[in-house]
């Protein structure tokens, strides 16, 4: 019986083909996109996430007030338009009429208010609640000093949302692209509690909806028929596959089992480029890799010593040889290509000087500071990872050229980051920062003196703090950019942390996958992609 049926369908297929009929619905195959991701999300509850891998998943499941398009430009999402009050403090969003949850309910302003209150509620223990702290009273609510109803966000009617800020925050719209700004379906969260993220329970408003989630295996999402732009969504099923081992993703990509990889092993880049050509995508990324120097230690107290070390580091060698071109030499803390910044962004003034001349100057600087050759020994500390190891080995070698001896100390991840944060007794460490939003403040705030969680060197500079304060209240974007640039110039003259590399986003993209545009935020919503055979 089965055999005959197969025959019959084969016949009709042949018939259809011969008649030139294409896409007969009975035979339409689902378009399935196997998408490599860095890891599994720690949760599908946007309030419990923080990483880039999680953002990729949530971007497909949910839609915020504004979203990034394929080129990482901010476009309207659930909000169709918005207005800002003159003092820059009140934003009024008009929501689109056809915004729907996957269960068919309309997406309303109160869904946003609910989500914004929930993320600030201390009981939620949201890891990234501070992203939305610019909203009025958010910080007080988050620390339990105020009831969450006091939050500066209210639903004027079903389709009008008003958000009041504590300070004018010129990058606020940019901020709302972050996963912390996503709405939640109040009814479903209240009904299921913590289990609202389970397949079957999760109600989402993005281009896709959750089908299943098998840890360490895949997250399956199906196209959401209620999505307002569903007709333009080309892919029916997305499988997000976690790859802790980047080389595994490359093998499965080459075997045709996945159509994109979200990261690549840098040690294979040269070969991959030869083999796969422009399927290898390396694009500038909003992130910096730097070496914090413990400035509170006697031996590093003199900025000249830090500057000398910074001069001696050959960033081109690190980027091209150690990282095989998957990093870019860095001469500033704020990566280039960022929004809301000055045209001619500050850099280390010796960026273009030849490394040998820089070494001469460095040796002279050390002499001025009273450090003789061989007198200074520094410990280079890093967390476990092949490239950190190779980078620090090379840095040690470069410091030796100016008469500074070094030792290497490796620590395993959780121990390492705890140690840095808790004012550990390191000399020079490594750290990196990927921007959460496209604004220089997101990099410069790292070195405010009261930012104990991030300011590993414990560098305290009153002028810097004052400039950062000033930038916070400045509403004129150009003037604010000038102030921030002034702060960065100060930072670079003191180098409490030595910027050495900018990150790039690395991906493998199959030629079958269309619509993948390289961009500085490394965002690639599946709704903008299509898959051909």
User: Scanning residues 114 to 133, which ones bind other proteins (CB under 8 A)?
Assistant: 122-130
Question: Which phi-psi region, left, alpha or beta, contains residue 228 (left: φ > 0; alpha: ψ -120 to 50)?
Answer: alpha
**Cβ 464 vs Cβ 420: under 8 Å:** no
Single residue of 46, 77, 134, 242 touching other proteins by CB under 8 A: 242
**Is residue 392 a contact point for other proteins (CB under 8 A)?**
yes
**Is residue 42 a contact point for other proteins (CB under 8 A)?**
yes
By C-beta, is 44 or 99 nearer to other proteins?
44
Single residue of 73, 229, 244, 375 touching other proteins by CB under 8 A: 244
- The Cα 359–Cα 363 span in angstroms is 6
Cβ at position 422, least distance to other proteins in Å: 9
**Is residue 252 a contact point for other proteins (CB under 8 A)?**
yes
Alpha-carbon radius of gyration of the chain: 26
Give the range of 146-154, 276-284, 428-436, 474-482 binding other proteins by CB under 8 A. Answer: 428-436
Which letter does DSSP use for residue 318 in this model?
Answer: I
Nearest 5°: phi and psi at 449? -70, -25
**Is residue 267 a contact point for other proteins (CB under 8 A)?**
yes
Give the range of 23-31, 155-163, 238-246, 470-478 binding other proteins by CB under 8 A. Answer: 238-246
- The Cα 515–Cα 505 span in angstroms is 17
Burial class of residue 278, CB neighbours in 10 A (0-12, 13-18, 19+): exposed
Of residues 192, 231, 186, 240, the one with CA closest to residue 61: 240
Single residue of 147, 225, 370, 432 touching other proteins by CB under 8 A: 432
Of residues 448, 251, 427, 414, the one with CA closest to residue 333: 448
- The Cα 485–Cα 194 span in angstroms is 44
Cβ at position 39, least distance to other proteins in Å: 9
- The Cα 118–Cα 379 span in angstroms is 44
Binding-site residue total for other proteins (CB under 8 A)?
80
Cβ at position 43, least distance to other proteins in Å: 4
**Is residue 85 a contact point for other proteins (CB under 8 A)?**
no
Of residues 269, 301, 306, 303, the one with CA closest to residue 290: 306
**Is residue 251 a contact point for other proteins (CB under 8 A)?**
yes
Cβ at position 136, least distance to other proteins in Å: 17
**Is residue 268 a contact point for other proteins (CB under 8 A)?**
yes
By C-beta, is 369 or 394 nearer to other proteins?
394
User: Which residues ranging from 51 to 70 are in contact with other proteins (CB under 8 A)?
Assistant: 51
Give the range of 57-65, 429-437, 507-515, 516-524 binding other proteins by CB under 8 A. Answer: 429-437
**Is residue 45 a contact point for other proteins (CB under 8 A)?**
yes
Cβ at position 128, least distance to other proteins in Å: 8
Of residues 202, 15, 217, 205, the one with CA closest to residue 95: 205
Nearest 5°: phi and psi at 96? -75, 150
Give the range of 66-74, 386-394, 458-466, 500-508 binding other proteins by CB under 8 A. Answer: 386-394
By C-beta, is 40 or 60 nearer to other proteins?
40
User: Which residues ranging from 197 to 216 are in contact with other proteins (CB under 8 A)?
Assistant: 197-198, 213-216
Tell me, residue by residue from 331 to 370, as one string, x for binding to other proteins by CB under 8 A and - for no binding.
Answer: -----------------------x-x--------------
SS (H, E, C) 356-373: HHHHHHHHHHHHHCCCCC
Of residues 346, 99, 332, the one with CA closest to residue 224: 99
- The Cα 433–Cα 401 span in angstroms is 28
Which residue reads 């107290």 in tokens? 301
Single residue of 58, 65, 173, 241 touching other proteins by CB under 8 A: 241
Which letter does DSSP use for residue 222 in this model?
Answer: E
Cβ at position 244, least distance to other proteins in Å: 6
User: Which residues ranging from 125 to 184 are in contact with other proteins (CB under 8 A)?
Assistant: 125-130, 139, 142-143
Single residue of 82, 350, 419, 516 touching other proteins by CB under 8 A: 419
Please compute, for residue 10, the number of CA atoms within 13 A of its CA located in the half-sphere on the CB side. 6
Please compute, for residue 231, the number of CA atoms within 13 A of its CA located in the half-sphere on the CB side. 0
């Amino acid at each position: 019986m089965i055999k005959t049926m197969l025959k019959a369908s084969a016949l009709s297929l042949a018939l259809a083909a011969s008649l030139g009929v294409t896409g007969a619905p009975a035979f339409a195959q689902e378009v399935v996109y196997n998408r490599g991701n860095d890891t599994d999300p720690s949760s599908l509850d946007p309030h419990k996430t923080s990483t880039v891998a999680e953002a990729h998943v949530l971007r497909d499941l949910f839609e915020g007030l504004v979203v990034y398009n394929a080129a990482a430009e901010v476009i309207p999402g659930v909000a169709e338009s918005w207005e800002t009050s003159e003092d820059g403090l009140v934003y009024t969003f008009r929501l689109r009429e056809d915004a729907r949850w996957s269960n068919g309910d309309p997406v309303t302003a109160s869904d946003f208010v609910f989500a914004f209150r929930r993320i600030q509620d201390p009981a939620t223990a949201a890891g990234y609640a501070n992203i939305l702290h610019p909203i009025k009273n958010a910080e007080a609510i988050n620390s339990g000093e105020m009831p969450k109803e006091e939050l500066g966000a209210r639903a004027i009617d079903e389709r009008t949302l008003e958000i009041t800020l504590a300070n004018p925050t010129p990058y606020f719209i940019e901020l709302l692209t972050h996963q912390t700004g996503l709405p939640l379906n109040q009814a479903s969260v209240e009904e299921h509690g913590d289990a609202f993220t389970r397949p079957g329970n999760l109600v989402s408003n993005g281009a896709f909806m959750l089908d299943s989630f098998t840890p360490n295996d895949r997250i399956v999402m199906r196209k959401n028929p209620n999505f307002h732009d569903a007709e333009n969504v080309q892919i029916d099923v997305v499988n997000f596959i976690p790859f802790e081992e980047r080389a595994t993703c490359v093998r499965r990509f080459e075997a045709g089992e996945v159509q994109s990889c979200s990261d690549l092993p840098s040690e294979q880049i040269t070969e991959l480029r030869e083999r796969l050509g422009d399927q290898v995508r390396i694009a500038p990324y909003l992130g910096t890799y730097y070496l914090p120097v413990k400035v509170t230690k006697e031996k590093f107290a003199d900025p000249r010593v830090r500057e000398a070390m910074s001069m001696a580091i050959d960033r081109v060698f690190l980027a091209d040889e150690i990282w095989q071109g998957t990093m870019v030499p860095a001469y500033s803390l704020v990566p280039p290509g960022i929004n809301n910044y000055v045209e001619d962004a500050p850099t280390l003034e010796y960026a273009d000087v030849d490394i040998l001349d820089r070494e001469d100057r460095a040796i002279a600087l050390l002499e001025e500071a009273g450090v003789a050759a061989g007198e200074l020994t520094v410990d280079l500390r890093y967390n476990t990872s092949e490239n950190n190891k190779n980078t620090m080995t090379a840095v040690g070698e470069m410091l030796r050229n100016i008469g500074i001896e070094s030792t290497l100390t490796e620590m395993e991840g959780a121990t390492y980051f705890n140690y840095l944060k808790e004012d550990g007794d390191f000399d020079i460490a490594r750290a990196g920062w990927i921007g959460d939003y496209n604004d220089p403040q997101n990099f410069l705030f790292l070195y405010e003196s009261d930012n104990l969680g991030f300011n590993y060197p414990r560098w305290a500079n009153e002028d810097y703090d004052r400039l950062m304060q000033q930038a916070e209240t400045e509403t004129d974007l150009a003037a604010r950019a000038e102030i921030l640039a002034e702060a960065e110039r100060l930072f670079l003259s003191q180098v409490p942390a030595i910027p050495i590399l900018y990150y790039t986003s690395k991906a493998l993209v199959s030629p079958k996958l269309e619509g993948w545009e390289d961009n500085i935020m490394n965002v690639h919503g599946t709704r903008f992609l299509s898959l051909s055979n």
